[in-house]
Amino acid sequence: MFVARLLLSRALQAVVAALCIGCFSFVLMQMLPGDVAFRVAAARYSADLMSLQLAEAVRGTLGLDRPWPLRLLDWLRQVAALDFGRSLVSNRPVVLEVAEQLGRSLALAGAALAMTVALALPVGILAGLAPGRWFDSLSLLLATLCRSVPTYALCIVATAIFVLRLRWFPSAGFDGWSSLVLPAAVLSLGMAAVTSRVMRDSLARTEAAAFFRYGRHKGLPEWAVVWRHGLRNALIPVVAVLGQQTMVLIEGVVVVETLFSFPGIGQAIVRAVFSSDVPMIQATALALGLIFVLVNTVVDLLCLWLDPRARTAR
């Protein structure tokens, strides 16, 4: 029953978030300086062919001469009918544009998240089982270094070593899974640094609890004590942190996608803002907002599964 109420509340949050994000992004685009018709015409036909007549033709064709409240109401009616319009630049349905570009970004984020879990959990578990020892100190030093180095610097160093010198990975674009390895690794380093320390602190607190010590007194093997009594309790804050970092990861891939020339949602947003492609911006912001609600829902369900006491208390 509680899970049903949780899903219903998240569905209502998704509807409210969609309305707020769509209206807010539309109003922000109207506040940008300059003429929208000129920017759209320049993006469509190139800046060399720009003229006043061409901009006026674009204005009349796309209805940009109408008052913006009427255009916003038209967009809301279209969204209610699950029609998100067409791109002002490419004239393609924005659903197809967002699906292609966001799909690549989600693949990149998923690869980075998988690398984060594969790296952070073992390091955090080993450090949490031996707090204050040499491995804990070494992992803290490495986590501090990985977190303190800017992302763009990691991108430059990784490109110079693995692309230009070793030639292990492609330098730009998207050409299968090999194009995901290097940018995903760069993104995962900072996330793994934070997640490993959260895992270490959570497991160290769990190890000091009475139920964990009781598992050892019963004579269980160390792996069984950690697996049965430690990890399930220690993973609750880790899941919450991973959910938060996932949203930061999806929204913060702009720098990595730009430096690696990765055709994802980050580059799409930048191009849409420069060309004032309002339907594209609204659809992209709407998709990211709904993903945020979905990630929060999944994190809540995982935390409830890991800790049944939360269901009983609520």
Give the pLDDT confidence score for residue 12 in this predicted structure.
Answer: 84
Predicted confidence at residue 166, as pLDDT, reads 77
Q: What pLDDT score was predicted for residue 251?
A: 64
In whole angstroms, give the CA distance from residue 141 to residue 130. 15
| Cβ atoms within 10 Å, residue 296 | 17
Residues in the chain: 314
pLDDT at position 34 is 65
Query: CA 184, CA 172: separation in Å to the nearest integer?
Result: 13
pTM tops 0.85, yes or no: no
- Residue 312, pLDDT score: 61
- Bridge partners of residue 86, in order along the sequence: 93
Residue pLDDT, tens place only, 29-62: 777 666 667 667 766 666 666 666 677 776 766 6
**In terms of Cα–Cα distance, which of 159, 115, 145 is closest to 249?**
115
Domains of the chain: 18-80 (no CATH), 102-270+288-313 (1.10.3720.10)
Residue 217 identity (one-letter amino acid): H
For 147-163, the pLDDT digits (tens) are 888 777 887 888 788 87
- CA–CA separation, 62 and 72 (whole Å): 13
| Distant-in-sequence contacts of 60-68, Cβ < 8 A, 24+ apart | 62/37, 62/88, 64/36, 64/37, 64/40, 68/26, 68/30
Decide if 79 contacts 22 (C-beta within 8 A): yes
Nearest to 86 by CA among 107, 67, 61, 57: 61
What's the confidence (pLDDT) of residue 33? 67
Structure token pair of residue 122? 């073992």
Segments of the chain scoring below 50 in pLDDT: none
What pLDDT was estimated at residue 99?
82
| CA dist., res. 271 & res. 18, Å (int) | 22
